[in-house]
Amino acid sequence: MMHALRGRLALVLVFLVLIAAGPARAELFEAHEFALANGLTVVVIPNHRAPIATQMVWYKVGAADEPLGKSGIAHFLEHLMFRGTKTVPPGAFSRIVAQNGGRDNAFTTHDYTAYFQDVAADRLDLVMKLEADRMAHLAITDAVVKPEREVILEERRQRIDNNPAALFDEQLNTALFLHHPYRIPTIGWESEMHGLTTADARAFYRRWYAPNNAILVIAGDVTTDQVKAMAEKYYGGIPAHAVPARHRVAEPPKVASARLTMKSPRVTEVNWTREFLAPSYRAGDKQYAYALEVLAEVLGGSADSPLYKGLVVDHPLALTAGAFYDPNAYDLATFGFSARLKSGVSVSEFETALDAIIKTALEGGISAEAVERAKTRMRSAAAYARDSLSGPARIVGAGLAIGRSLDDVESWPERIGAVTLDQVIAAAHLVIRDDVAVTGVLMPGPTS
């Protein structure tokens, strides 16, 4: 009896301690973070579902940090990172990864540049060695710069100039952003790409590529202790150096709406979009960022959303219709609506219907139930993201690369769950304003 009593008393004491401490916050990815002495931030995201691992290195620099007149240099350097070091010849990096059963690639945005490899967990040591080597010892010479410059020019021709939608998106960005470098395409303007030199690439590499300006994310069948030992071995000896602050020009207030129309014989359906400048996680009225995420999901994130149901199902004016918003930006973000119109539907007819839907939403048509359903869908999607290998690494890396904390990323489901109906309505009125909207219409037809 005494033993049983002591047991019950112990349980009561534990229960009281838990109540006093409050509920523990659930972590989205259960990631672990530490830093090396040279300033390199390291994040480990364990995932033991399969014996594989992803390495991602994120540099806190992107196209919006480029010198004036040197558009495309961030993306150009991304290409040159595969062109060799003193010990790894041009093209050998990807070949070695492939020979070891892995795959690798990289991407550049306005705010960051990232490199990744997906490999068997027992090959992580190898790709860490390779990635650390090019962080410190990239060989940038005329012999590799000149032919690679032709590669990026051809990439621009294929991805942008020969793609009406991509070309039109470039034009829309110049109307949405009046002054900020987000108006400049990541790949660069062709006239400036022709002038990118070996000296430009070296200067950009030496200026921004340093361990103290990078984030190493390892996800997969690993432990924090394993990663810490390998990171110290391969990255720990790379010296830090001074990295400049990311000074960007401010976007002036928008006081007028704009409308752009483009015709192309290669377009078969009318593609319509309307965009607004919006706060991000770290710029503008950032307290509205989570509410704007919920707003986008409410208005266009499901088959029951007002945009899809009203424009595709109930009144079949469009083939697709939805809302978009990504607050993961260093500066201001974009909120908007997009659709592909059905053949024979006029733009004016479609816009009249869409405007009515948005007006209804702004005047009280968003219900508390719709907000709760949207939040549930979003939090469920976050839970499913844990099953992915590379997905969490990308989410965490992108967040840290723009200056968010690991806690910000891990607590996203809770922050979405805390959004209220009033906050969603306030966010909608803040951003959705016809007097500052940029509307784009890409349609079939001759260009002259």
Distance CA 322, CA 176 (A): 19
DSSP 182: G
DSSP H helices, 69-180, are 73-80, 92-99, 124-137, 142-156, 164-176
CA distances from 223 to 33, 44, 73, 393 (A): 12, 7, 36, 15
Distance CA 200, CA 196 (A): 6
Q: Specify the amino acid at residue 307.
A: L
How wide is the angle at C-alpha 143 spanned by C-alphas 141 and 144, nearest 5°? Answer: 75
Show contacts of 317-324: CB within 8 Å, 24+ apart.
317/341, 317/342, 317/345, 317/349, 317/350, 317/353, 318/342, 318/345, 318/350, 319/269, 321/354, 323/295, 323/296, 323/297, 323/299, 324/296, 324/300
DSSP 26: P
Six-digit token string for 70: 């040197």
One of 66, 78, 251, 275 is an active-site residue; which one?
78
Cβ pair 182, 333 in contact under 8 A: no
Distance CA 31, CA 385 (A): 13
In three-state secondary structure terms, 160 is helix
CA distances from 412 to 32, 296, 385, 404 (A): 16, 16, 12, 11
Distance CA 274, CA 323 (A): 9
Place of tokens 């993201």: 385
Has 78 been annotated as catalytic? yes
Catalogue the active-site residues. 78
